Amino acid sequence: MLQTIIYRAGVGAYATGIKVASAFNPKAKLFVNGRKGLIGKISNALAAETRKVIWMHCASLGEFEQGRPLIEAIKERYGSYAILITFYSPSGYEVRKNYIGADYVFYLPVDNRANAESFLDLINPVLCLFVKYDLWYYYLSGLKKRNIPTFLVSAVFNERHGFFKWYGSLQRKMLHLLTHVFVQDSNSADLLTKIGLSNVTVSGDTRFDRVVKAAGNAGKQQIADEFCKGFKIVVAGSTWPADEALLQNVLKDLPHEWRLMLVPHNVDEAHIKSIEKLMVGETIRWSQFLEGTGKRILLVDRVGLLLELYQYSDISYIGGGFGKAGVHNVLEAAVYGVPCCFGPVYHQFIEAAELLKQDGAQMIKNSTELTRAILNTNDRIQAKESGAKGKNYILSRTGATENILTEIAVYLNQFP
């Protein structure tokens, strides 16, 4: 009871804080404005819907990419369902609000009893998927009360998570409200077993399926084709200021046969301008590209292109490895079978650590090491071997989507 009161107060305080922050923070403003009149919008959107609804919830864009293979497989094999996706964060919703694989995409109303009851009454799902560990107490309680099969997919846990702390009783209760939990690794399964969960399956990580499929379907981009023609290419993806400063130092030491395709994590105007100031005279924006440009840096000021752009790399650099949050998605780069590298903050990401163990990636600590890694690709045999090790590691980890789909098929088949 006390934990529920604290939870309710915490969620309420956060919502209030976001409203205050929305006056000066663009993302907070999106969070607030996206939820104005949201229940009414959902009601209007679903008013004429006659199909049974499958609901998938994702915190943000990364979780969406983990759930995406499963949703697409369900859509392909069980086409009679309507697919509804919710996001907690603007960084997921704003990028994927027009995703063609879903029939409906919304923000998730802030978690409280009234919102959860109204939302569940409106969408009336027959099956629910929560991705990774973005769990909300009143939604899960409402689903349990309605006897709606509810699954957590592509989850990964460690001892530091609140689920396993003395104060985590409500978080543990949320896990027990789930029908089944599909985890990425055996360590996660062992941790859940220790807190009394038996409905756990080690299914693997659906992101491996996603990147293999996406790379296989990757189209060409005319701007990238023109920029890369006749040059060796470093593709630097999901970069932060620390990465960009590093790359600026590296580029000036590279022969002019090398060009840089820079895809920052944050593409708002202020950050794009800061990169242009840092790399003065060297950049041309994707949105302003001119054929035949002599600029060495293509500054990609659009979202949603990174996975396709990695195919142009002779070597890929994945950003985030010099910040607290750690390196971004290494799989999207490694799947193309080229050498890849990233900074020293990677240990919380299993796939990054395993790529290093397989010699399918390289960790770099400074600009000297990155310059050396880039120039080492001149040894084509060594570069090909390194890239192949990374790609083979990814291929060996596919199959999670099928594992999960096999388990939940018994529920999907109940509702023709």
Instruction: Give tens-digit pLDDT for 296-338.
Output: 999 999 988 999 999 999 999 999 999 998 999 999 999 999 9
Q: 354 and 327 in contact (C-beta within 8 Å)?
A: no
Taking phi first (over 0 means left), then psi (-120 to 50 degrees means alpha), and beta for anything else, what does residue 154 get? left
Mean pLDDT across the stretch 219-234?
A: 96
Q: What is the DSSP letter of 361?
A: S
Q: In this structure, which topology does domain 20-204+399-412 adopt according to CATH?
A: Rossmann fold (3.40.50)
- pLDDT recorded at residue 414: 76
d(CA 141, CA 208): 31
CB 307 within 8 A of CB 214: yes
Q: What does the alpha-carbon distance between residue 163 and residue 66 come to, in Å, rounded to a whole number?
A: 21
Question: How confident is the model over 42-81, as pLDDT tens digits?
Answer: 999 999 999 999 999 999 988 999 999 999 999 999 989 9
Domain ranges of the chain: 20-204+399-412, 220-396
SS3 89: coil
Q: Do domains 20-204+399-412 and 220-396 have the same CATH topology?
A: yes
Domain at 220-396: CATH code:
3.40.50.2000
| Average pLDDT across the chain, whole number | 94
Return the pLDDT at 257.
96
- In this model, does residue 350 exceed pLDDT 90? no
Tell the burial category of 139 from Cβ atoms under 10 Å away from its Cβ (0-12, 13-18, 19+). buried
Nearest to 396 by CA among 208, 117, 121, 145: 208
CA distance 31 to 306: 24
Q: Taking the CA of residue 281 as centre, how many other CA atoms within 13 Å lie in the half-sphere pointing to its CB?
A: 2
What span, in angstroms and rounded, lies between the C-alpha atoms of 363 and 343?
6
- Give exposure, 22-61, as e/b (b: 16+ Cβ within 10 Å): beeeeebbbbbebbeebbeebeebbeeeeebbbbbbbbbb
Contact 188, 160 (CB under 8 A): no
pLDDT value at position 15?
Answer: 86
- For 107-149, how does the pLDDT look when each residue is reduced to its tens digit (9 = 90+)? 999 999 999 999 999 999 999 999 998 999 999 999 999 999 9
* Residue 416 pLDDT grade (very low, low, confident, very high; cuts 50, 70, 90): low
Please tell me the distance from the alpha carbon of residue 126 to that of residue 130, in angstroms, as a whole number.
14
User: What percentage of the chain's residues is helix, strand, coil (to nearest 5)?
Assistant: 50, 15, 35
CA distance 178 to 200: 10
pLDDT number for residue 415 = 66
What amino acid is encoded at 147 in this protein?
A: N
